[in-house]
Amino acid sequence: MSFWNRRRPWVAAAAQRADGASQLKRSLSWPHLVALGVGGIVGTGIYTLTGEAAALAGPAAMLSFVIAGIVCACAALAYAEMSTMIPVAGSAYTYTYTVIGEGWAWIVGWSLILEYTLVCSVVAVGWGGYASGLIRQAGWPVPEVLLTAPANGGLVDLPAVLIALAVAGLLTLGTRESARINLVLVLVKLAALAAFVALCLPAFDVAHFTPFMPHGFAAHEVDGVKVGVIAAASIIFFAFYGFDTISTASEEAENPGRDLTIGIVGSMLLCTLIYMAVAASAIGAQPVDTFAGSGEPLAQILRALGHPGAAVAIGAAAVIALPTVIMAFMYGQSRVFFAMARDGLLPRRLAAVHATRGTPVAVTVLTGVIAATLAGFMPLARIVALANAGTLCAFIATAAAMAILRLREPQRPRRFRTPLWPLVALLAIAGCLYLFASLPGETIRFFFVWNALGLAVYLLYARHLSRLAPI
């Protein structure tokens, strides 16, 4: 079992100069990284999960946002330290490989692939739903079977397929070019949310926060559904992660020590403030029961307040800006694929980088095809929560790698040092484990089945082709 704990040499992890054809181009500054993080974090979650969280926790959904935010903030601090020490593509997979061992790194990488793939596909389906509605309203002669996935009686969700492939195509053109477009779309999203808060404030009523915690604090089942503040936090968690995609850009940051720290910590702080403001405004403007469980809570609240035009505009802004979420997670997925291929755990030809664009074209195209296939043909409703499980696994691994490295090599130079690191690591690991245990039982079972499959692939295939395998 020596292969399980073999670690990539630190110099190789930090420099990654073994193969000149596998070097990514440094083209991202901190504004691009903050926008990448915000683009991944502020997406369908804030537009839809506010209602779902209210249904599970009542007005205490505010507390659920705080808890999920604290856990993610601790993980973000660990990511900031590790990414500046190991500024190489791969995120939690790379940190685990360098600090803990190859077998554990494979599990983390396999979980990250699950996370990023599902998020890309689910958001593509969400965007496709809006696009299909517009196509129907416009009366375009598009057959219904091309607007609906097979699970819902159609042939293919073509809009979802097309948006996934379009984002992949954009990413192949160049990292800086796609980052600029992402920045513009992020500003559109932030303007829409600022407008929502401004329109809700005149109707704010503190009485809407009573009773504050109708379903209690701990997660518990009622009629087969887990409710409570922690249950809501385990779902809201989906709306917070996305900052980890920044760490996958480590190798493309112009000044990793500065840019990654600002990107990770800055985007997390900014998005936490945005979420708290939006959730408080929503609950203060309307009683929780009026929008709990709604698929479009923000638009519903604005219509109830007498702003139907604003409701349409905010919905349109969400549709326009949703591709930023697909872009952020598809970018992250392609870089994890790239790192694993460069290490030999996946076919090495996937690690080839375009000579002039500096992007891994082959692996980006593969990522887009996988996401498009899932979005167009597969039933995702029952397995979307698996993305949360994969993310929690990666967060735990990163916090553990930070703690192990602090104990093993306390004198190693660190561009960013996590304050109160023992407490931060403990909160990140314990918080993620608690949130994982609060996920639906079916999700937890699916996660272990996925990783059992991954272990079989590793034991039968990947470990033999690893660059660290004995010759």
DSSP structure string for 381-440: TTTTTHHHHHHHHHHHHHHHHHHHHHHH-TTS--SS--TTHHHHHHHHHHHHHHHHHTS-
- The SS3 assignment for 254 reads coil
Q: What is the pLDDT of residue 104?
A: 94
Q: What is the pLDDT of residue 175?
A: 64
At residue 457 the predicted structure's pLDDT band, cuts being 50, 70 and 90, is very high
Domains of the chain, with CATH numbers? 24-465 (1.20.1740.10)
Q: What is the pLDDT of residue 400?
A: 96
Q: How far is CA 445 from the centre of its chain?
A: 21
Q: What is the pLDDT of residue 190?
A: 85
pLDDT at 3 over 90: no
Nearest Cα residue to 237 out of 368, 67, 104: 67
Please give the mean pLDDT across all residues of the chain: 82
How many of the other CB atoms lie within 10 Å of CB of 249?
A: 30
pLDDT digits (tens, 9 = 90+) for 410-440: 998 888 888 899 999 999 999 889 878 877 7
What share of the chain in percent tops pLDDT 70?
89
How many of the other CB atoms lie within 10 Å of CB of 48?
A: 19
Q: What is the pLDDT of residue 24?
A: 65
pLDDT at 22 over 60: no
Structure letter (DSSP) for residue 223: T
d(CA 57, CA 283): 12
At residue 471 the predicted structure's pLDDT band, cuts being 50, 70 and 90, is low
Q: What is the pTM of this model?
A: 0.80
pLDDT digits (tens, 9 = 90+) for 380-401: 766 666 777 888 899 999 999 9
Averaged over 74-92, what is the pLDDT?
85
What would the DSSP string read from start to end of 269-312? HHHHHHHHHHHHHHHHHS-GGGTTT-SSHHHHHHHHTT-HHHHH
Show the tokens assigned to 108. 């983390």
pLDDT at 352 over 60: yes
d(CA 78, CA 104): 18
At residue 18 the predicted structure's pLDDT band, cuts being 50, 70 and 90, is very low
pLDDT at 188 over 80: yes
Flag the least confident range among 78-92, 235-249, 337-351: 235-249
d(CA 251, CA 22): 11
Flag the least confident range among 99-103, 214-218, 414-418: 214-218
The 3-class SS string of 86-154 reads CCCCCCHHHHHHHHCCHHHHHHHHHHHHHHHHHHHHHHHHHHHHHHHHHHHHHCCCCCHHHEECHHHCC
Averaged over 293-308, what is the pLDDT?
80
- The SS3 assignment for 327 reads helix
d(CA 168, CA 367): 7
